[in-house]
């Protein structure tokens, strides 16, 4: 009997399974999908919670700092000058005549006493020859008159006349010899010839320029300094010279001359700085830049110039850090040179000053220092 019922039950079960509707199948799929989404939602919620926990942490502004230094502080100001030489003259003729010999060419170096030109002196030499003959006769007459006077012959007037004539001729000869010497033009010192205009055979007159003689052993830089700097400079004030076209810098110079008169037109005072020759490259009219030291503090408190700010009231201030908290300090500044500013009050050596990020902080907030 049981064996007869078993096929019937299996058949009924298969019939019930085969009778499930499509709606029932979709429902099962949706329920499975819902279970999967719940699992993913749990993961997302956990992530959101973790992010919120991170956001609740305190985020500090990041800044960089510089340290206020106590050090030697020097201030220089710059003026432009021109090179010149104190030993530069025009060679001039001293007498009238025709140039007979010429030893002058542009660029030539000549020594002191070297003959540069001679002017025809035939007439003067003839005059000297005639004077020599007259002097011989005058001396003979004077000597005779002296002997006669010793013998009691002749008068005192005759003796004085012959003596005066003799001395007058001697003076005339001396003058002629001086004129003869002026026909020879010599170099008064060592130097280079420039701007030579003389030509052999040309007629010259006293004072006529023949050329220029320049000595470059001692070169000076002349400059005009604004009167506003007068208080900080004096004779022997240290100077540094830069010659741009030569790409050369000359150190350890000083002010050798400081004028005594202010130019009323441009309110400047003249200075002169002597410089040693640099292998003959320093020549007149080159342009030079002078860096003149007008201030020095051997123990100055200094900070980078970029750390100094200005508030709405016009006060200069810095942001200093005390226990990593921002403290606004009003400062009194001195001079500034090459990105460094002297602090007269408001900061001390060793202070941490915000150098980067100062625009995003305010007094009292805590900051994070980076790259310190």
What per-residue confidence (pLDDT) applies to 15?
A: 44
Phi, psi of 94, rounded to the nearest 5 degrees: -105, -10
Q: For the ranges 4-18, 62-76, 187-201, which has the lowest average pLDDT?
A: 4-18
pLDDT of amino acid 203: 93
Q: pLDDT tens, 64-111?
A: 999 999 999 999 999 999 999 988 999 999 999 999 999 999 999 999
pLDDT at 13: 45
Contact 216, 104 (CB under 8 A): no
Mean pLDDT computed over 186-214: 94
What is the per-residue pLDDT across 118-177, written as a single tens digit (0 to 9) for each?
A: 999 988 999 999 999 999 999 999 898 888 888 878 788 888 999 999 999 999 999 999
Q: pLDDT tens across 291-317, in order?
A: 999 999 999 999 999 999 999 999 999
**Fold exhibited by the domain 77-86+215-297:** Elongation Factor Tu (Ef-tu); domain 3 (2.40.30)
Q: What integer pLDDT is reported at residue 86 of this predicted model?
A: 86
141-148 long-range Cβ contacts below 8 angstroms, 24+ apart: 141/165, 141/166, 142/166
Average pLDDT, the chain: 88
Confidence of residue 322 (pLDDT cuts 50, 70, 90): very high
Please state, for a pLDDT cut of 70, what percent of the chain lies above it: 91
Domain boundaries along the sequence of the chain: 63-72+299-369, 77-86+215-297, 98-213
How far apart CA 69 and CA 278 sit, in angstroms, is 38
Convert 25-59 to b/e letters by CB count within 10 Å (16 or more is b). Answer: eeeeeeeeeeeeeeeeeeeeeeeeeeeeeeeeeee
Please state which architecture CATH assigns to domain 98-213. Beta Barrel (2.40)
pTM of the model: 0.65
What is residue 271's predicted lDDT score, i.e. its pLDDT?
97
Q: Using alpha carbons, select from 179, 221, 255 the residue that is nearest to residue 81.
A: 221
Q: What's the rounded Cα separation, in Å, for the pair 178 and 33?
A: 131
Does the structure show a pLDDT above 60 at 9? no
| 237: phi then psi, degrees, rounded to nearest 5 | -60, 130
Q: What is the pLDDT of residues 330-358, one digit of tens each?
A: 999 999 999 999 999 999 999 999 999 98
Chain segment 24-34, per-residue pLDDT in tens:
677 777 777 88
d(CA 258, CA 268): 11
Between 275 and 7, whose confidence is greater? 275
The verdict on domain 63-72+299-369 having CATH code 2.40.420.20 is yes
Write down the pLDDT at residue 294: 94
* Rounded mean pLDDT, 226-255: 95
pLDDT value at residue 148: 85
Residue 251, pLDDT score: 94
């Amino acid at each position: 009997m049981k064996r007869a019922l078993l096929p019937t039950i299996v058949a009924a079960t298969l019939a019930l399974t085969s009778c499930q509707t499509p709606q029932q199948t979709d429902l099962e799929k949706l329920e499975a999908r819902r279970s999967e989404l719940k699992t993913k939602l749990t993961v997302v919620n956990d992530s959101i919670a973790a992010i919120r926990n991170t956001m609740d942490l305190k985020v500090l502004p990041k800044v960089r700092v510089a340290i206020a230094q106590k050090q030697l502080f020097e201030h220089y100001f710059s003026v432009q000058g021109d090179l010149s030489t104190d030993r530069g003259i025009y060679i001039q003729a001293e007498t009238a005549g025709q140039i007979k010999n010429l030893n002058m060419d542009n660029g030539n170096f000549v020594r002191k006493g070297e003959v540069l030109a001679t002017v025809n002196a035939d007439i003067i030499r003839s005059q000297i020859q005639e004077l020599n003959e007259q002097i011989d006769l005058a001396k003979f007459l004077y000597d005779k008159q002296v002997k006669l006077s010793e013998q009691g012959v002749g008068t005192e007037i005759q003796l004085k006349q012959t003596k005066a004539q003799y001395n007058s001729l001697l003076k005339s000869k001396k003058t002629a010899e001086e004129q003869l010497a002026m026909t020879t033009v010599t170099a008064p010192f060592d130097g280079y010839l420039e701007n030579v205009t003389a030509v052999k055979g040309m007629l010259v007159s006293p004072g006529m320029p023949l050329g220029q003689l320049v000595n470059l052993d001692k070169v000076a830089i002349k400059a005009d300094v604004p009167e506003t700097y007068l208080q900080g400079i004096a004779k022997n004030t240290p100077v540094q010279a830069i010659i741009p076209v030569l790409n050369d810098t000359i150190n350890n110079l000083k002010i050798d001359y400081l004028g005594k008169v202010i130019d009323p037109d441009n309110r400047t005072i003249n200075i002169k700085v002597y410089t040693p020759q640099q292998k003959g490259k320093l020549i007149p009219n080159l342009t030079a830049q002078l860096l003149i030291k007008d201030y020095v503090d051997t123990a100055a408190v200094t900070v980078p110039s970029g750390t100094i700010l200005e508030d709405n009231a016009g006060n200069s201030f810095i942001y200093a850090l005390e226990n990593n908290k921002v403290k606004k300090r009003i400062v009194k500044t001195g001079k500034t040179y090459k990105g460094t500013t002297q602090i007269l009050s408001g900061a001390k050596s060793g202070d941490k000053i915000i150098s980067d990020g100062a625009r995003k902080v305010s007094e009292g907030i805590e900051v994070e220092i980076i790259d310190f």
